[in-house]
Structure 1
Amino acid sequence: MFSLLLHGRSSVIELQKLHNSSNLVKLLQNVFALSNSYYSASAAAADDSSHRDGRKGKTFTVSYLVESLGLTTKLAESISRKVSFEDKRNPDSVLNLFKSYGFTDSQISSIISIYPGLLIADAEKSLAPKLQFLQSRGASSSEHTEILSKVPKILAIEKKKALSVYYDFVKEIIEADKSSKFETLCHSSLPEGSPQENIIRNVSALRELGVPQKLLLPLLISDHSLVCGEEKFKESLKKVVEMGFDPTTSRFIQALRVVQRLSNRSIEEKVEVYKKLGFSVGDVWGMFKKWPVTLTHSEKKISQAFETLKKSGLYEDEILSVFKKFPQCISYSEMTIENSIGTLLGLGFSRDELMLMFKRYPQCIGLSAESMKKKTEFLVKEMNWPLKAVVSTPAVLGYSLEKRTVPRCNVIQALMGKGLLGSELPPLSPVLAITDEAFLEKYVRNHDGKELVAELMAIFTGKTRKKQRKIRYNEEGS
């Protein structure tokens, strides 16, 4: 039973059982209940407004969010399904209030993106007193805005004592993350009890293990189920630590989420599904370490991905190799895989070359058709590398065209134009597959003459192109 989870480190993490005053217990019991009631009221108000004002209100909301906060249309449309308004008086008063307390435009955008219900809150009667009270807690102006922009749900709490406890707790997490040592948070001294208290205690336990702020705060905001309870959380945390997951990575949280959600029996059943396809228990363990979501897929999904790759031309042992190398491809749909194959064939690759590319770089199975087409055409048509060069180094299809491929290729073209590389292009791999530092040493800094090095560096960073665009703009303007 649970053979998969017996691998890894044998160290045992004993989570502390700690005690505190009953007043603090009662205080924290109300924190999330108050927060949820506030958000429910905001959501209800938004729903009423949406039904009353209909499409007009949603259209105005989207336009307002894009123009006033600089949000993308997609994000604005998502928010408009939660809050809706027909005029800008109330949201303007909320945004102006945040600005008056020193919040930057980006911080305000972050706050509204995380907690859009604030746009329909009463700025003067509800938000202003809280901001004023929290500002008096001793944090500097920059600390104050940082705390609230990262966990704006603090502003949902009504009681001052609860508000101060939650605010101080988040402040400690942020401060601890800036320290070179993982400090023990004082609120980890909470006794056993309600789910609300468990959240604070369990988040503290994660912080003491070294889980960084960027992974911790989202749990505090929205993922209550992961850090609720005590025994199940303690058991799951122990297993994930013993398996050797690094607490500073997102994969640690992913693994914890999977282990806590699945029973021992469920995990064993998933392992059996993979074994039927030819994987060993060790293979499944290896895939889980790379991508914990491996154990959440249904038998139908796993088998479908296997059969789709089989139909594409890969042999069973090759499919096993692809899965073990990049288990994320299990999540790709049949359509995604078929579109990738069709796109690559349309670009001139043979089916044998496709299979070779899939084995070398399985990630290309899930790349968008537009991305693969744009990158391949640039490398082959503009740079004149042969298709076989892409087959040999298919990882180039995953590199950023704007940030990596084009800047390096501009340097190569400049060097060839000056006769410093001969008449033939260098191999593709030494140009694109190496690190930025290695590229600069090989193709930029190794030349004699400060002016030439400066010119090549300007080409690499794009400053030359920016300067040329500015000159053209000035000429056109005159």
Structure 2
Amino acid sequence: MHSVFLCDRLFPIRKIAIDSTPPLVFLRKNPLFLRCISSKSSPTSQHSLTVSCLINSSGLYTETATSASVITPISSKSSSNQDSYTVSYLINSCGLSPETAISASEKLHFETPEKPDSVIRLLRNHGFSKTQIAILVRKRPVLLLAHPEKTILPKLEFFQSIGVSRTDLARTLSLDPTLLTRSLENQIVPNYNFLKSVLQSNQKVVAAMRRTSWLFLQDHTKNLVPNIAVLRELGVPESCIILLLAHYPEAILQKHEQFSEIVTEVKKMGFDPLKSTFVLALHAISGKGSELRWNRCYEAYKKWGWSKDDILSAFRKHPHCMILSEKKITAAMDFFVNNMGWQSTMIARCPVVLFFSLEKRIIPRCSVIQVLSSKGLMKKDLSLSTVLLPVEKSFLDRFVTKYEEELPELLSVYQGKVDILEL
């Protein structure tokens, strides 16, 4: 026998004795349990007691408890019981895994379920799902000790009062519960007032919040205020600033020095600050992975025969064409070139068509054009913008309803109910 001193996360152990016969088993990152040595109990009964104790006090699954029972504690003090209760509660009431619950229990302790139950009940009453509550607790377990009526409820009510739906609020706060730890009066409301002064409506503030909750967490005097000032000095219209802040806030929330460099780069590329494409370009080349995205898109277009000038021309027309996925680019180009027989450079002159849904818009409309062309009812050199840009009603009026007498199946072709080969 040997004397060993351990400090375990779940069960503080001062001094233990280890039988030399069964080897110690270390279970990943789970807490270690040392098996008691007793001559008065049989190994079988001792093992059963150990498993039962682990399941009841720590909330471990049977399989996990059986594995962990190879080593169990001799004794534990009151703090151990408290830790055990906290872990059990986090597993059974919050949906955390045993390992996550043990980690979270290091940051909070409670002996009764009264306070955490009231927090969970409040969240459920405001539309949080079990999964969202589990995510929130995993990221900010100390919120279970918050006063629900004084700390959490006022923030939920405030965001709902400006138009944030329960669904969006639950999603946003579960992804980043930091917002619930900040002062409503000293941080959240002042940030809201500033955002409202720029965006001019609660609807736009809510739209921006859906994209990032950091709008309510940062000190805007450091980056956002000077970044907006840079745009205004260039004459960027307020409508374009609102577009950038409401829909692509991560671009304008960058550090001021970095943002200024990107603004200078976009100007050198020939973008007009008076047009919306200027702020879209700012967004397209912002962020940590912007250079990687640009290179990926650049190579994807080159494979389809676009020159450097073609790529830059497409970028100036629609900057977001340089943030599309390679899969999206390839699928659209393959259809236009190989199915429709169009020159790839046609797409470079109208890159907005790359953003349309292949299944819902491109294929149905192009199928109609193919049928009309095969019947001699339509010229084959129609422009992409003529076919794909009009709203659905305009397209149907011009290319489907107009020919319903000659081709009554045309609507079925558009709806995907009839294959064009059948005609």
TM-score by length of 1: 0.53
CA drift of 1:200 comes to: 1.4
Flag the 1:171–1:414 CA change in 2: closer, same or farther, 3 A: farther
Which amino acid in 2 is paired with 1:407?
P
Aligned to 2:365: 408
CA distance in 1, matches of 2:358, 2:396: 18
Alpha-carbon contact 2:236-2:275 (below 8 Å) kept:
no
Aligned ranges 1:60-459 → 2 under 5 Å: 117=96, 159=113, 163=117, 166-167=120-121, 170-171=124-125, 197-227=150-180, 228-231=182-185, 232-242=187-197, 243-247=199-203, 249-254=206-211, 257-271=214-228, 287-299=244-256, 301-302=258-259, 305=262, 314-315=269-270, 317=272, 322-331=277-286, 333-421=290-378, 423-449=379-405, 452-453=407-408, 455-459=409-413
CA drift of 1:117 comes to: 2.7
Aligned to 1:139: none
Residue-by-residue CA offset, 1:142-191 (whole Å, 9 max, x unaligned): xxxxxxxxxxxxxxxx84786477546644669xxxxxxxxxxxxxxxxx
> Which structure has the larger Rg over C-alpha atoms?
2
Which amino acid in 2 is paired with 1:223?
D
Secondary structure, aligned partner of 2:363:
helix
Which amino acid in 2 is paired with 1:462?
G
Flag the 1:379–1:201 CA change in 2: closer, same or farther, 3 A: same
Secondary structure, aligned partner of 1:429:
helix
CA distance in 2, matches of 1:430, 1:88: 64
Q: Does 2:418 match 1:464? A: yes
Alpha-carbon contact 1:380-1:386 (below 8 Å) kept:
yes
CA drift of 1:357 comes to: 1.4
Secondary structure, aligned partner of 1:412:
helix
CA drift of 1:432 comes to: 1.2
Alpha-carbon contact 2:118-2:148 (below 8 Å) kept:
no
Flag the 1:326–1:49 CA change in 2: closer, same or farther, 3 A: farther
Residue-by-residue CA offset, 1:431-471 (whole Å, 9 max, x unaligned): 1112233323332233334x944x33332232335999xxx
Alpha-carbon contact 2:227-2:256 (below 8 Å) kept:
yes
CA drift of 1:234 comes to: 1.9
Secondary structure, aligned partner of 2:401:
coil
Unaligned runs of 5+ in 2: 1-8, 11-25, 32-59, 67-93, 102-111, 129-145
Unaligned runs of 5+ in 1: 1-39, 42-47, 54-83, 91-114, 123-157, 175-192, 469-478
CA distance in 1, matches of 2:251, 2:313: 24
Which amino acid in 2 is paired with 1:335?
L
CA distance in 2, matches of 1:460, 1:467: 13
Residue-by-residue CA offset, 1:375-394 (whole Å, 9 max, x unaligned): 12321232122344323321
Percent identity between the aligned chains? 21
CA drift of 1:195 comes to: 7.9
CA drift of 1:290 comes to: 4.2
Alpha-carbon contact 2:387-2:395 (below 8 Å) kept:
yes
Residue-by-residue CA offset, 1:52-96 (whole Å, 9 max, x unaligned): 69xxxxxxxxxxxxxxxxxxxxxxxxxxxxxx9997999xxxxxx
Which amino acid in 1 is paired with 2:342?
W
**Larger relative contact order, structure 1 or 2 (CA cutoff 8 Å, min sep 6):** 1
Residue-by-residue CA offset, 1:86-112 (whole Å, 9 max, x unaligned): 97999xxxxxxxxxxxxxxxxxxxxxx
Which amino acid in 1 is paired with 2:362?
T
Residue-by-residue CA offset, 1:195-216 (whole Å, 9 max, x unaligned): 8733211111221222112211
CA distance in 1, matches of 2:191, 2:207: 16
Q: Number of residues paired by the alignment?
A: 312
Structure number with the higher helix fraction is 1
CA drift of 1:334 comes to: 1.8
Alpha-carbon contact 2:236-2:274 (below 8 Å) kept:
no
Alpha-carbon contact 1:390-1:396 (below 8 Å) kept:
yes
Secondary structure, aligned partner of 1:117:
coil
Flag the 1:456–1:281 CA change in 2: closer, same or farther, 3 A: closer
CA drift of 1:364 comes to: 0.4
CA distance in 2, matches of 1:341, 1:318: 24
CA distance in 1, matches of 2:374, 2:62: 59
Flag the 1:203–1:52 CA change in 2: closer, same or farther, 3 A: closer
CA drift of 1:398 comes to: 1.4
Secondary structure, aligned partner of 1:459:
helix
Secondary structure, aligned partner of 1:385:
coil
CA drift of 1:261 comes to: 1.3
Alpha-carbon contact 1:329-1:363 (below 8 Å) kept:
yes
CA drift of 1:263 comes to: 3.8
CA distance in 1, matches of 2:370, 2:299: 31
Flag the 1:382–1:331 CA change in 2: closer, same or farther, 3 A: same
Superposed CA RMSD in Å reads: 4.6
Alpha-carbon contact 1:309-1:319 (below 8 Å) kept:
no
TM-score by length of 2: 0.58
CA distance in 1, matches of 2:386, 2:242: 34
Flag the 1:317–1:260 CA change in 2: closer, same or farther, 3 A: same
Secondary structure, aligned partner of 1:261:
coil
CA distance in 2, matches of 1:170, 1:417: 59
Flag the 1:377–1:415 CA change in 2: closer, same or farther, 3 A: same
